[in-house]
């Protein structure tokens, strides 16, 4: 019976396909990157204790993993400062002071990620999500129209402490702190969890029940939009990016690695956002926030067991991962 209930829980966390169509931030300006296929990694980064017969999180020992800009360690010039002091923890931070628009590129092998950054000195944090290797970091200043010129370039060989680091910390795509409302709510939801699967189940059930799709926002959102998980939690409304960002913030804060992914889903080639989370029991698992352009529909990725419509979800092979954060 316990095993049956557990399988039902795992089935529950694989649902949540939410429908929306909206303009996603500056991803169209980026060069395509190789699809990010689910892989089972070897170890989980969280501290462990024992619940019953299985090793698991010691709830009061899960560290909050932050990502911050360290001005004393930054390199650059009067306009741009790039902080690579904690690249081994899976992120780069950048600060720009200028009256011009700036973009920031993170280049690793064939993968190029291009981001909008504020020019008022507010630091931005971006993940080093493509793993170990030689990176190029390039700040680009707007000179006219859509033309940009290089303002600063740094190179660095990155060796991550472990492959989960970029997906356990806040970034511009999922912003939160230890004091964030979404973190406190996630902590409450995780209190009675016996393992990571139950944490994921609790978080996704809560997001699904609490947040509603915002049609007006979807129709008016501008390119370059970045979500605020606490604002989504406060208003209880959002678009696909908001859902994915909120879920990532809540899960990461509880020691569950979680990716925010943008890509296409066949057969209609809808551009949308979804999450992928990792637990030792499941490996990497995809949970989709996706759309038919009219209203939110909840679909089970295990549709064959429930007779659900598989037009969009299919068996997962119709997902094309373009960008992950």
Q: Please, which residues have CB within 8 angstroms of residue 129's CB and are 6 or more apart in sequence?
A: 90, 113, 166, 167, 259, 324, 325
Q: Where in the chain does DSSP place strands (E)?
A: 49-51, 54-56, 75-76, 80-83, 91-96, 102-108, 111-117, 124-127, 133-144, 147-158, 212-213, 237-238, 258-265, 270-279, 283-289, 319-324
CB 292 within 8 A of CB 19: yes
For residue 264, the model assigns a pLDDT of 80
The DSSP bridge partners found for residue 115 are 104
Domain end: 130, 151, 167, which one? Answer: 167
Q: Are residues 160 and 186 in the same domain?
A: no
For residue 319, the model assigns a pLDDT of 66
Q: Are residues 202 and 299 in the same domain?
A: yes
List per-block mean pLDDT (blocks of 10 residues) for the chain, which spans 325 residues: 42 38 39 32 32 41 90 98 98 98 97 97 98 98 96 98 96 97 96 88 85 87 93 92 92 93 75 79 62 29 29 55 87
CATH number for the domain harbouring residue 132: 2.60.40.10
How far is CA 184 from each of CA 37, 98, 228, 260, 322, rounded to the nearest angstrom? 31, 36, 15, 20, 31
Domain end: 151, 167, 183, which one? Answer: 167
User: Please, what sign has the CA dihedral across residues 188, 190, 194, 199?
Assistant: positive
Enclosing domain of residue 292: 2-64+169-324
For residue 88, the model assigns a pLDDT of 98
For residue 239, the model assigns a pLDDT of 85
Q: Are residues 114 and 185 in the same domain?
A: no
For residue 106, the model assigns a pLDDT of 98
CATH number for the domain harbouring residue 29: 3.10.620
Q: Are residues 52 and 179 in the same domain?
A: yes
Q: What is the CA radius of gyration of the chain?
A: 20
For residue 292, the model assigns a pLDDT of 32
Residues 142 and 102: their CA atoms lie apart, in Å, by 6
Residues 109 and 133: their CA atoms lie apart, in Å, by 8
Q: Are residues 139 and 226 in the same domain?
A: no
For residue 6, the model assigns a pLDDT of 46
Residues 145 and 261: their CA atoms lie apart, in Å, by 29
For residue 274, the model assigns a pLDDT of 78
For residue 286, the model assigns a pLDDT of 66
Comparing C-alpha atoms, which of 44, 50, 25, 321 is closest to residue 174? Answer: 25
Q: Are residues 149 and 233 in the same domain?
A: no
Q: Are residues 54 and 75 in the same domain?
A: no
Q: Are residues 128 and 86 in the same domain?
A: yes
Q: In what order do the strands lie in the sheet with 80-83?
A: 75-76, 80-83, 91-96, 124-127
Joined tokens for residue 74: 């930054």
For residue 171, the model assigns a pLDDT of 98
Joined tokens for residue 16: 């949540």
Q: Are residues 39 and 185 in the same domain?
A: yes
Domain end: 167, 201, 228, which one? Answer: 167
Angle at the Cα of 19 from the Cα atoms of 129 and 199, rounded to 5 degrees: 55
CB 157 within 8 A of CB 134: yes
Angle at the Cα of 252 from the Cα atoms of 24 and 196, rounded to 5 degrees: 125
Q: Are residues 188 and 77 in the same domain?
A: no
Q: Are residues 243 and 309 in the same domain?
A: yes
Q: Are residues 161 and 221 in the same domain?
A: no
Q: How many domains does the chain have?
A: 2
């Amino acid at each position: 019976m316990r095993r049956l209930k557990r399988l039902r829980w795992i089935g529950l966390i694989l649902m949540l396909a939410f429908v929306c169509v909206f303009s996603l931030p500056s991803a169209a300006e980026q060069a395509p990157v190789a699809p990010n296929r689910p892989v089972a990694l070897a170890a989980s980064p969280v501290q462990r204790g024992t619940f019953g017969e299985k090793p698991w999180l010691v709830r009061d020992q899960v560290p909050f993993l932050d990502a911050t800009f360290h001005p004393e360690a930054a390199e650059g010039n009067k306009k741009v400062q790039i902080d690579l002091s904690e690249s081994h923890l899976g992120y780069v931070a950048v600060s720009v002071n200028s009256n011009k628009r700036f973009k920031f590129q993170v280049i690793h092998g064939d993968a190029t990620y291009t981001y909008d950054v504020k020019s008022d000195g507010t630091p931005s944090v971006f993940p080093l999500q493509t793993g170990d290797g030689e990176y190029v970091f390039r700040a680009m200043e707007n000179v006219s129209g859509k033309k940009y010129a290089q303002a600063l370039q740094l190179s660095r060989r990155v060796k991550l402490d472990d492959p989960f680091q970029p997906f356990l910390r806040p970034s511009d795509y999922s912003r939160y702190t230890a004091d964030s409302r979404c973190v406190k709510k996630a902590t409450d939801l995780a209190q009675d969890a016996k393992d990571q699967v139950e944490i994921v189940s609790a978080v996704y059930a809560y997001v699904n029940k609490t947040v509603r799709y915002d049609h007006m926002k979807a129709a008016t959102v501008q390119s370059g939009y970045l979500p605020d998980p606490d604002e989504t939690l406060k208003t209880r409304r959002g678009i696909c990016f908001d859902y994915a960002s909120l879920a990532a913030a809540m899960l990461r804060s509880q020691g569950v690695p979680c990716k925010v992914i943008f890509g296409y889903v066949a057969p209609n080639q809808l551009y949308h956002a979804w999450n992928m989370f990792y637990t030792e029991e499941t490996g990497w698992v995809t949970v989709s926030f996706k759309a038919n352009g009219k209203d939110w529909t909840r679909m089970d990725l295990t549709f064959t067991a429930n007779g659900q419509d598989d037009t969009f979800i299919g068996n997962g092979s119709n997902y094309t991962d373009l960008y992950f954060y």
